[in-house]
Structure 1
Amino acid sequence: MRLFLLLAAALCALLPARAQAPVRPGAAPCLDTILRLDGEEVRGRVLVLTPTALRYLPAAPAAPDTLTLPVAEVFLVRYANGTRELLHPAAGAPAPDGPPDLLPGLTPGQRLAYGRRDALGHYTDHGPYWATLGATLYAGPLFGVVAPAIISGKAVKAENLRPPTPALLADPDYRRGYQEQANRRKRQRSWGGYGTGVGVFVVLFAVLVGSLAN
């Protein structure tokens, strides 16, 4: 019973916090994202949207002055509440020899980077972490290393990608960027779970050695 309580205490101390990350000092909690046709993302709060102009308040540390962008230069607006508004009229036009181009005006490199940015914020599957942690606690550090080695080597399944706009996965450059970043995060979480399990065993071993020494 004593060993079980020690193991539980060590596990609770080493597991990563699952609460939301603290807000950085000076950061605005509710910011909209404006995606320009040239691929640049602008953070701020949209104040007024007319058929020809978009007025917004830029995010800190920019000066708190209202700025204006022509609607013709804006692809879409992603609001803080998660909704999106497509502003560029050509965005839904069919491509001559393929599906509609949802990222008009963006180069392949910008589409790749856009996919990576979306994956950073929307790929949130923690299954690899808990799977490798459980395997390490069950089999021990020596045999538990097999789990992260196998899990981290497999690409994230399509149903687990969960991009904010699933239709964008039809774009090969966007999809490649999103997939690469999602795979990277999966590897990090797989080995993170293994590391936590090893840490639990190290703490438990140290406690046992200390008890025997006394």
Structure 2
Amino acid sequence: MKKHLLILLSCLLAQVAMSQDVIVKINGEELKANVQEITTTDIIYLSADTTDTLNYSLAKTEVFMIRFANGTKEVFTENLPSETTNETTIVDPVMMYQKGRQDARLHYNGTGAMLGSAATVFLAGPVGPIIIGAVKPRARYNKALPAASLQDPNYVKGYEKQAHNRKIGKAAIGFGVGTGVGVLYLLLSVMSPGK
């Protein structure tokens, strides 16, 4: 009898150890976890892939559904796209192109292109700023842009055109600054008294 109870207890403990919840994120990624608590803003869980006892936290807005070990599910309907976003809407292509250009003026500053161009003048001469200016900025890398607008190719085209124009201008300024600093350094080194 003790042997049968021990086997039954071992099976139950193995079942409990193997049971786990699955957190399904909006992007489709699945996390094996043991959900500890669901708050109004977060889901607190233990990772099933590790043996550590640290609680992890995930924003509820990133979660589509939780499949619990007991077979039940909880779907977070507030994170589902609304039906209005699924409807096909007709948007004026010219208006979206102009909106993309306007957003590029607001959200793309090109400071990196200017600083990079100024620095590469010393390493590669004018080739560095030319290469930096030739690489077009991509709209999808700018997190400040609305995700719905990035689905419209006219918006993306307008944004990337205006951002590229600004990047070329900033690269030219960087080339001028880098060249000016180089000439100033050369003049100061020539004019300084010899040792």
Larger radius of gyration: 2
Structure (1/2) with the larger helix percentage: 2
- TM-score, normalized by length of structure 2? 0.49
